[in-house]
Every structure is written in C-alpha cells, then in structure tokens.
C-alpha cells in the first residue's frame, strides 16, 4: 500500500515538473514576443476572421503572373473542368513567415490564372488538406491546418471544416460536433461519399503531439461518424503520410514523419516506411467498423523519404513525387537529401514503379539505386543492430515501427542531374487532371538557405517520357535574408496573400 502511494506521489511530482517547465517556456516566449512587439496569435486569428467577414461579394481577377512561391499548400483538380485549384500555403524568407489564404484557379487550355475572393472564407493557413468532389456541380472540402506568426514563435492549429460550392464560388463553414481535434500535417481522402482523415500533429512550440486517429465525415448527412477500430494493429502516430482510397473502399496509408525526444531539448525525427490498409468490416451491421492490416508493395522499393507529395488518379493509380531524407551529422544537426523521384503505385496489384522520364543509354551495369535499395532492405530487416561510421546515420521506422541505422551512403540520389525536371523538392503540390500529372511549387534547402518555388510542370501519364515546362524554375525568384543581416523587402510579403494593405506595425502581428 505504501509503495503504491509512493509511486503515485512520484507521478504527481513528474507532472508538476513538466508543468513548471511548460510555464518557464511560456514565460520565456512571452518575453520574446514582447521584445518583437508581436501580437498574441489568437488575437491575430480574430482579426483575420473579421477581415474575411468584411468581404461581401464574390470576385474574380485574372492574374498577370502565377501565384507567389509557397509550400504546404493544397493543389487539386476541378472535378468537372480542366482546371487546377490552389489554396493557401506558406513562404519563409529566412526571417519571417507569411501564411496565405488566397484561392487560385488555373485554366489549363488558356494557360490562365484567376484569383477568387469569396465572402467569409477560411483564414490563412498551411499544412491543411483539401479535396474536390463532383457533388452538386462540384465542391471543395477543406479541413484543419495551422497559422504561424511571422517569428514562428506562435502557432495556431485549426479544427474547422469548410465546403466551397464551385457553382457559386462561396465558402460555407460546416459546424457539427464530434470532429477531429485541431491539427496540421494530417491527410484526407474521399471514398464512397465519405471524407477520411488520418494522423497529423499539434505543436505549440512548447510541446508536441502526433496523431494516429481516424475520423470519417459523411457527405450525405453532413455529420462526423462514430468510428470503431477493431483488431490490435494500429499505425504509429505520424504526419505527412501518403493517403489514397482504393476502388474497393480500402484506404491506403503509407510512410510519414514523426518526432521523439532523445534528450532534454533534443528531438529526433523518424521517417516511417510502413504501409497499411484501413478496411471496412463488411460483415458488421454498422458501416463504421474498420480494422488496419499491414501490407507491402512489389516492384521498386521507395527510399525512406518524408514530406512526399501524393495524389490519386483513375484506374486505382497513386503517384508520389519528391521528398527529403534527413541524415544525422550528429545528435543536433541534420543534413537533408532531397529527391525528385516520381513513383506510380497500382492499388490493384500493389506494384510500385519508378517512372524515369530521362532518356538514358542502356547499361548492363547494376543501377546505382539498386545498391541503395538493398542497403535499406537489409537495414529494415535487421533487429537491434546498429551500424554507423560515426558520421552519417539515418533513422528509419519500417514495419512494426522498429528503428534501424544505416551505413554511410554518400548520396541517396546518385542519378540526379542539374537539368532534371522538376528539380528535387519537398511539400510540392501534386494532382492529376484529365490524364496529366501536374507538379507545382514546394521548397528545397541548400546549406542554410531555403528556396521556395512557384514553377509548374506537366507530364502526360499516357506517354510519360518528357515533362512539359509551363512555368520554369527560377532559383532567384526571391531573396533569402540571413539571420545576421537586416530585413529587406524581398517582393513577397504577407500582403500577397490577398489580405488588405496594413500599416508596418500591424503587418508585424500577422
């Protein structure tokens, strides 16, 4: 009895210590915000909602140029027209971040961008999810995301659900109970008149939490359904995974990213390589009973990348592009290797293919990437074994969530050429419209500099031999401001998000 009470007291002590730590971090952040003269982010969100409410009519404006550089936005195909639809995202110039809520329609045949402004729409956000459905003349469904303050010391996570009628171009906020908690980095797909949401994370700059919960919204009843997960298999929590719906109603979840604490104030990222299907229990009377099953692909073995772009296409095909692999230089520093591989996954046969769009001479020698694949396969199959050269290590969470360490590999992308199209990147926009795959934007890091793109490419999936350049890549499209230098106008401020012009002091709060 005494021992039980003693353990109980220990638990309370640990809880108090954690609370004290959070309070100290909050106090420190408050001082920093005061020094920067940055407004509380909740107040900022309130102002942004008031600005949206002041818009009374729908307006369309033909754009002189493409949308500004951004990442973590959404790009979807119009369900009935040959158009691409882009919403939101973020841009970081080295000193401050801008978050957008602008909505663009790209007419493929006219090669024309239009910006749409609608009354009382979603406030600026990134890391959200949006899908298009053909119901009632076409609809856009959007959930969640986050808003970061310019200093990135504050984050606001959304849990709101929106629907835009593509007929009227008006947004409607869907208010109903039992929805997911606030989050970003989650994934959403549509299947059989239901929205499926999985994973994501919540981070307030003091603590973080990754999710592995499933939420289902009925597009018929406009309600969140009670979901029952049966069985012992559940994917580990993650964000930024690939998610797609199969014709039989199964939902694919593949890969993703999460973090774990390894020391005080030191976190380590985990790149997940496992794959699951969320399958409905067809024998149960309730249509909301599901179970997870693990699965593997045949054919090409993908590299363990995070921040991969993913999209679905007809005939049960799923395409993924790009991503980044974090290689540890030591416990605190990471070196990112970016890729531009384009993969095609057939959900019927679960066969994965690498789509090589570059004309290369045939060679009898082993493909350099096969060596990397074999190395990764050996590492994932090894349990409780550590292999490192003391310089580079990669943490991979494969089937069962086990972590492995890989031997040194100078480059995981030995075939990359400087003229490759599109160039390596992460968090790009990817969608398929009328048999054509489109890639837009995203970001690339080199040393301490971050390049954010607004280029656009198209690939005919019926004959995927060459990319068509619609908007070329310009590595100097914006300036990068080093932390030591003074802030200058780089041409891309938060005003470009469609917000009204503000005074200099007011701009700093948003």
317 and 465 fall within a common domain: yes
pLDDT at position 414 is 54
Which parts of 192-250 are beta strand (E)? 194-198, 201-203, 208-210, 214-218, 223-225, 228-230, 242-245
Report DSSP state, residue 136. Answer: G
**Nearest-angstrom CA–CA distance, 438 and 365:** 33
- What burial class does residue 182 get, using C-beta atoms within 10 Å of its C-beta: 0-12 exposed, 13-18 middle, 19+ buried? middle
CATH code for the domain in which residue 118 is found: 2.120.10.80
Q: Which residue has the higher pLDDT, 224 or 485?
A: 224
- What burial class does residue 190 get, using C-beta atoms within 10 Å of its C-beta: 0-12 exposed, 13-18 middle, 19+ buried? middle
Please determine, for residue 316, whether its predicted confidence score (pLDDT) is greater than 50. yes
pLDDT tens for residues 80-94?
999 999 999 999 999
Report DSSP state, residue 8. Answer: H
- The structural domain count of the chain equals 2
Please determine, for residue 69, whether its predicted confidence score (pLDDT) is greater than 70. yes
pLDDT at position 418 is 54
Considering only CA atoms, which of 420, 415, 421 is closest in space to residue 468? 421
Confidence of residue 36 (pLDDT cuts 50, 70, 90): low
Contacts 24+ apart (CB under 8 A), 14-20: none
Please determine, for residue 488, whether its predicted confidence score (pLDDT) is greater than 50. no
Considering only CA atoms, which of 201, 92, 204, 188 is closest in space to residue 141? 188
CB-based contact 158:144 (threshold 8 Å):
yes
**Nearest-angstrom CA–CA distance, 414 and 407:** 16
CB-based contact 70:438 (threshold 8 Å):
no
161 in a domain, yes or no? yes
pLDDT at position 250 is 95
pLDDT at position 421 is 85
Global pTM exceeds 0.85: no
When pLDDT is averaged across residues 216-242 and rounded to a whole number, the result is 95
Range with lowest mean pLDDT among 19-23, 190-194, 276-280, 376-380 = 376-380
**Last residue within a domain, chosen from 175, 207, 231:** 175
pLDDT at position 146 is 97
Both tokens of 322, joined, read: 């790009």
pLDDT at position 359 is 43
For 295, phi and psi rounded to 5 degrees?
Answer: -150, 165
27 in a domain, yes or no? no
pLDDT at position 25 is 57
3 in a domain, yes or no? no
Confidence of residue 496 (pLDDT cuts 50, 70, 90): very low
Considering only CA atoms, which of 241, 251, 242, 232 is closest in space to residue 211? 241
24 in a domain, yes or no? no
**Nearest-angstrom CA–CA distance, 412 and 305:** 10
When pLDDT is averaged across residues 300-304 and rounded to a whole number, the result is 91
pLDDT tens for residues 341-354?
999 999 999 999 99
386 in a domain, yes or no? no
Please, what is the average pLDDT of the chain?
81
**Nearest-angstrom CA–CA distance, 332 and 336:** 13
When pLDDT is averaged across residues 146-157 and rounded to a whole number, the result is 94
When pLDDT is averaged across residues 22-40 and rounded to a whole number, the result is 65
SS3 of residue 362 by DSSP: coil
130 in a domain, yes or no? yes
pLDDT tens for residues 391-447?
333 345 655 443 333 334 445 555 555 556 899 999 999 999 999 999 999 999 988
- What burial class does residue 149 get, using C-beta atoms within 10 Å of its C-beta: 0-12 exposed, 13-18 middle, 19+ buried? buried
**Nearest-angstrom CA–CA distance, 195 and 507:** 36
Both tokens of 499, joined, read: 């917000």
Could you tell me the residue range of the domain that residue 104 belongs to?
A: 34-175
Distance set, CA 301 to CA 190, 352, 370, 440 (Å): 27, 7, 9, 25
44 in a domain, yes or no? yes
**Nearest-angstrom CA–CA distance, 99 and 59:** 21
pLDDT at position 16 is 52
pLDDT at position 419 is 58
CB-based contact 87:101 (threshold 8 Å):
yes
Both tokens of 229, joined, read: 């997960």
Q: Which residue has the higher pLDDT, 475 or 2?
A: 475
**Last residue within a domain, chosen from 146, 175, 204:** 175
pLDDT at position 22 is 53
184 in a domain, yes or no? no
- Alpha carbon 206 to its chain centroid, in Å, reads 21
Confidence of residue 509 (pLDDT cuts 50, 70, 90): very low
Q: Which residue has the higher pLDDT, 262 or 501?
A: 262
SS3 of residue 107 by DSSP: strand
Nearest 5 degrees, angle CA 296-CA 233-CA 213?
105
């Amino acid at each position: 009895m005494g021992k039980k009470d003693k353990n109980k007291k220990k638990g309370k002590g640990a809880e108090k210590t954690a609370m004290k730590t959070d309070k100290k971090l909050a106090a420190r952040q408050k001082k920093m915000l005061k020094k920067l003269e940055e407004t509380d982010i909740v107040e900022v969100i309130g102002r942004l909602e008031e600005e949206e409410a002041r818009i009374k009519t729908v307006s369309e404006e033909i754009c002189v140029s493409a949308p500004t550089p951004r990442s973590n936005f959404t790009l979807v195909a119009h369900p009935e027209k040959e158009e691409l639809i882009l919403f939101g995202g973020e841009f970081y110039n080295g000193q401050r971040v801008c978050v957008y809520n602008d909505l663009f329609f790209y007419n493929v045949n006219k090669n024309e961008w239009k910006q749409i402004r609608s009354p009382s729409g979603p406030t600026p956000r990134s890391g959200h999810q949006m899908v298009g459905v053909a119901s009632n003349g076409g609809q856009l469904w959007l959930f969640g995301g986050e808003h970061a303050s310019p200093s990135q010391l504050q984050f606001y996570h959304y849990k709101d659900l929106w629907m835009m009628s593509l007929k009227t171009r008006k947004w409607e906020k869907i208010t109903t109970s039992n929805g997911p908690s606030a989050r970003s980095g989650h994934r959403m797909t549509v299947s059989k008149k239901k929205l499926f949401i999985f994973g994501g994370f919540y981070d307030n700059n003091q603590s973080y939490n990754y999710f592995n919960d499933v939420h289902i919204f009925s597009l018929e009843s406009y309600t969140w359904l009670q979901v029952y997960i049966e069985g012992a298999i559940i994917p580990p929590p993650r964000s930024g995974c690939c998610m797609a719906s199969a014709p039989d109603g199964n939902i694919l979840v593949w890969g993703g990213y999460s973090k774990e604490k390894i020391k005080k104030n030191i976190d380590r990222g985990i790149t997940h390589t496992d794959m699951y299907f969320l399958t409905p229990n067809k024998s149960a009377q309730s249509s909301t009973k599901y179970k997870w099953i693990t699965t593997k692909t045949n054919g090409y073995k993908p590299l363990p990348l995070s921040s991969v772009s993913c999209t679905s296409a007809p005939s049960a095909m799923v395409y993924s592009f790009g991503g980044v692999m974090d290689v540890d230089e030591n416990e605190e520093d990471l070196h990112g290797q970016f890729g531009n591989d384009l993969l095609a996954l057939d959900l019927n046969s679960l066969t994965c293919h690498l789509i090589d769009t570059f004309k290369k001479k045939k060679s009898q020698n082993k493909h350099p990437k096969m060596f990397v694949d074999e190395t990764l396969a050996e590492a994932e199959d090894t349990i409780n074994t550590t292999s490192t050269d003391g310089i580079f290590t990669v943490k991979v969470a494969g089937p069962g969530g086990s972590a492995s360490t890989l031997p040194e590999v100078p480059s995981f992308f030995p075939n990359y050429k400087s003229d490759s199209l599109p160039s390596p990147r992460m968090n790009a926009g990817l969608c398929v419209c009328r048999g054509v795959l489109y890639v837009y934007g995203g970001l690339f890091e080199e040393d301490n500099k971050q390049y954010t793109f607004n280029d656009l490419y198209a690939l005919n999936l019926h004959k995927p031999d060459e990319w068509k350049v619609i908007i070329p890549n310009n590595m100097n499209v914006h300036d990068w401001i080093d932390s030591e230098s003074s802030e200058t106008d780089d041409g891309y401020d938060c005003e470009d998000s469609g917000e009204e012009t503000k005074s200099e002091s007011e701009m700093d709060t948003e």
